[in-house]
Structure 1
Amino acid sequence: MIDSNEKLNAVHEQIAKAAKLAQRKAEDIRLIAISKTRTADEIRPLLDAGHRLFGENRVQEAATKWPALREEYRADGSGAVEVHLVGQLQSNKAEDAVQLFDAIHSLDRPSLVKALAKAMDKQDRRIPCFIQVNIGEEPQKGGCEIGDIASLLETARSAGIEVPGLMCVPPAEVHPAPYFALLSKLAKDNGLSELSMGMSGDFETAIKLGATYIRVGTALFGERK
């Protein structure tokens, strides 16, 4: 059985290889270990291996795991644990999200900007928020329309929310490269430097097309039961 150290090292080797092919530095790409549906006992081996950046899809699930895990690993000397929200966020969960997470990758509508800004003001805590783009124009997916990026960006900045970049989930079962390339162009067009894109099956392609955050679950934790 492959242990967490080996899995983590294998993913880092793939990142380094893809970065080299793209003439980029591997250290410019941050690996988010997607720990949704994983128990604290499943997450601990990655924490013990030194990994410190994780991603969750649901506010309620994260609240059952991460406050205790953060406390457990707070004083071990290997850096603070970061947890990012990568799933859809309901406006009525904004306050909990601001309290729990270090970044949000799914800002996609003005009403959510309003809710997050109110929560950040109340808690006197600012966290960066990526704008999620519905890059494949899929009705069943979250994300703002491509034509709405500039106005949503302006709305967020006016509310005092830092937007470092864009996030997308390309359509399934088609080659993701054109969608990653489009997100990269949209980020440049809007003066944004960060790109949250790429998962276990396609993160090397995402890196070649400019990803700065990749979201990897299966390659680190194995298949879900």
Structure 2
Amino acid sequence: MGIKENIEAIKERISNAARRAGRDPEEITLLAASKTRAPQEIREAFNCGIKVFGENRVQEAREKIPALSDLPIEWHMIGHLQTNKVKYAVKMFTLIHSVDSENLIEELEKRAKKEEKIQEVLIEVKLSPEETKHGCKEDEVPFLVEKILEKENLKLLGFMTIPPYVENREEVRPYFAKLREIKEAMERKFGRRFPHLSMGMTHDFEVAIEEGATIVRIGTAIFGPRNY
């Protein structure tokens, strides 16, 4: 199957998962994770109706995004962001999914102010025990929410997590449910709505949707195995 058929199949699966959860499929954004993908593959996916693409590495995005500047793509940063790359990230990305420290918040605010931009962000929460995963600890979330809400040039839209990879998708359901609970607790605490939960990838996005995901980050199921 090609990219077009893959996207149609994923959209159908998103719709079915949303309906099982009594949700409107239109609430869910299909983000194409385009790490290692060539500009022509991204162009093809865009032509099949995908409007939001996520990059993991600033350096790769800096090479790729200019090659696709003729397309009205909404670019998201979905990988770990180092403070020394923030100046580039703020210029390129509409939404940064991976905010996980006070230092990063301060740097994003400084650079967004310089660009005269309101930078939209998500807080990445590390709920998985794996050492390789990034994100803040659960008990740091209220502090980081407060820090972002104090900033003039940052806008907090919600939360992101990456659960451990396990064969049985049902085993990751508690991680997605936990992030939803964190979001709801922060909405009560701060008296405002944080509309987005970025969670779920190729292997487990249907479970994520059933637990409230509003953005699913799909790479392999759209483009096939990664090109390294």
TM-score (norm 2): 0.92
Q: How many equivalent residue pairs?
A: 217
2:57 equivalent in structure 1: 58
Local SS of the residue matching 1:106? strand
2:81 equivalent in structure 1: 89
C-alpha displacement of 1:44: 1.7
C-alpha displacement of 1:110: 0.1
Local SS of the residue matching 2:119? coil
2:149 equivalent in structure 1: 157
Note the aligned Cα RMSD (angstroms): 1.1
1:178 equivalent in structure 2: 174
CA-to-partner distance for each residue in 1:58-104, whole Å, 9 max, x for gaps? 01100111122022x2xxxxxx3101000000001111000011110
For 1:125 and 1:198, how far apart are their aligned partners in 2? 29
> Please, which runs of 5 or more residues in structure 1 have no aligned partner?
74-79
1:167 equivalent in structure 2: 160
2:191 equivalent in structure 1: none
After superposition, residues 14-163 of structure 1 pair within 5 angstroms as 14-71=13-70, 73=71, 80-160=72-152, 161-163=154-156
Local SS of the residue matching 1:45? helix
For 2:13 and 2:132, how far apart are their aligned partners in 1? 31
Local SS of the residue matching 1:163? strand
After the TM superposition, which parts of structure 1 deviate over 3 Å for at least 4 consecutive aligned residues? none
> Which range moved further: 21-30 or 132-141?
132-141
Local SS of the residue matching 1:104? strand
> Which range moved further: 170-179 or 212-221?
170-179
Q: Which amino acid aligns with 2:150?
A: S
Local SS of the residue matching 1:55? strand
Q: Are 2:31 and 2:50, in contact at CA under 8 Å, matched by a contact in 1?
A: no
Local SS of the residue matching 1:190? helix
Q: Which amino acid aligns with 1:176?
A: V
For 1:190 and 1:151, how far apart are their aligned partners in 2? 10
CA-to-partner distance for each residue in 1:10-64, whole Å, 9 max, x for gaps? 1000000000000000000001100001111221211221211100000110011
Local SS of the residue matching 1:176? helix
2:190 equivalent in structure 1: none
Q: Are 1:137 and 1:145, in contact at CA under 8 Å, matched by a contact in 2?
A: no
For 2:28 and 2:111, how far apart are their aligned partners in 1? 29
Identity of aligned residues (%): 41
> Which range moved further: 34-43 or 103-112?
34-43
C-alpha displacement of 1:224: 1.7
> Which range moved further: 108-117 or 130-139?
130-139
> Which range moved further: 155-164 or 54-63?
155-164
C-alpha displacement of 1:193: 2.8
Q: 1:202 aligns with which of 194, 204, 209?
A: 204
For 1:141 and 1:216, how far apart are their aligned partners in 2? 18
Is 1:220 aligned to residue 222 of structure 2?
A: yes
TM-score (norm 1): 0.93
For 1:108 and 1:187, how far apart are their aligned partners in 2? 15
Local SS of the residue matching 2:156? coil
For 1:9 and 1:221, how far apart are their aligned partners in 2? 12
C-alpha displacement of 1:194: 1.3
